[in-house]
Copies of this chain bind each other. A is one copy, B any other.
Amino acid sequence: MKGTGFFADSTPLSVAEIIAITGAEAQDGADLSRILTDVAPVDLAAPDDLTFVADSKFASQLPSSKAGAVLTTARFAGHAPAGVVVLQVRKPYEAFVAVARKLYPSSLRPTSVFGTAGIAPGAIVHPSAKLGAGVTVDPGAVIGPRAEIGAGTLIGANAVIGPHVRIGNDCAIGPCCTVIHSDIGDRVIIHTGSQIGQDGFGYVSGASGHVKVPQVGMVVIHSDVEIGSGTRVDRGGIRDTVIGEGTKIDNLCQIGHNCVIGRHCIIVSQSGLSGSVTLEDFVVLGGRVAAIPHVTIGKGAKLAARASVMNDVPPGAVWGGFPAHSKRQWIKEIIAVQRLAEGKPVTGPADAATDAASPAAAAD
């Protein structure tokens, strides 16, 4: 995005370099030495920009594009105007992402908001904390006693790292995050204002009120996890709360105590797991999914947005609704209710043209 100046260290690339990254095929006579300095959507791209067209929605904008080069498929290659270098690939978006990662290496992990290395002015690091080589501590960050911060890790401005916390190498803990009672692997990213390791919600209730249950577990976050902004991960009550390698969690999610989340899961914004929920590997939770305590969501299962999981979900299942069950059955129910209210026959074949609102996109 030209001129914003937020990624000052972008790395211009030639068409030849882009071809090397993507395996794209250039049209005959393309200027392989042309330099692209930025990326932009097809409608906004300027002559120094690389863009992409992956589907027909954006293909209609290609003939009038001012881009320097476009990554696109054979199907849309002919739509590009003269002057745009056409780079033909099978998966334009994936190729575009690969180039963008090279153009903007600093976008892959949050960097210091103060532009400093080492311990910035105004950071407070306990003398007993151990900081690896190349650790950056931004202004106002607080690091408690006996904490261990691995080499190359960034602790953001006004973040708080509690006593005895261990954080691995090349992590980025965002501004205004708090991390307590936690053990974190390598290359973990936690975005702004997320809180990790505070007490889970546990009480023994009686006629005179609620007695707090000690929360003596911790949070274990494995390597290559990324956690959005404003998400909460409570530490375990008696077991640990665990987030597996490579899992990505969006903003404003709630992960309750004792949850065990597998590897490479995706959890979309505003989802909430109550206590002791298990997610096996490669589970996908759409936006605002919820789960009651002690359920297990099997490997590779996908839950549609707003699903409420109240029973174990089999591996590979695609579920939605409240309570969550087969997405196919759930959509039948939505359509049945729509027809019921309209006085139509309920159990006929689905008729997308007449149904008031199609829920089919809910799990996409």
Contacts and interface: CB of A to CB of B under 8 A. Distances in A.
Contact of A292 (B5, B305, B321): B305
A359 B322 contact: yes
A20 interface: no
A325 B359 CA distance: 10
A240 B39 CA distance: 13
A100 B237 CA distance: 11
Residue of A108, A139, A290, A329 contacting most chain B CB atoms (<10 Å): A139
A347 to B, nearest CB: 5
Interface in A152-167: 156-158, 160-164
Contacts of A311: 357-358
Contact of A160 (B40, B103, B157): B157
A107 interface: yes
Nearest to A359: B323
A293 to B, nearest CB: 9
A353 interface: no
A248 B41 contact: no
A203 B267 CA distance: 12
Contacts of A107: 199, 214-216
A97 B4 contact: no
17 contacts: A40-B238, A97-B214, A107-B214, A114-B124, A114-B142, A157-B178, A158-B158, A175-B180, A176-B193, A191-B199, A201-B228, A201-B269, A230-B232, A270-B290, A325-B338, A333-B341, A341-B346
Interface string A347-364: 100000000111101101
A34 interface: no
A188 to B, nearest CB: 13
Interface string A291-303: 0100000000000
Given A338-B333, A340-B340, A362-B310, A195 B229 contact: yes
Interface string A168-200: 000000111110110000000001110100110
Contacts of A361: 292, 310
Contacts of A246: 209-210
**Dominant SS at the A interface?**
loop
Given A158-B158, A229-B232, A214 B256 contact: no
Q: How many copies of the chain does the oligomer comprise? A: 3
A246 B206 CA distance: 12
A108 B214 contact: yes
Interface size class, chain A: 35 or more
Contacts of A44: 239
A139 B113 contact: no
Contacts of A175: 142, 160, 178, 180
B209 A198 contact: no
A115 interface: yes
A305 B181 CA distance: 29
Nearest to A51: B238
A113 B326 CA distance: 46
A357 B122 contact: no
Interface in A320-335: 321-326, 329, 332-335
Contact of A216 (B7, B163, B234, B266): B7
Contacts of A359: 310, 322-323
A32 interface: no
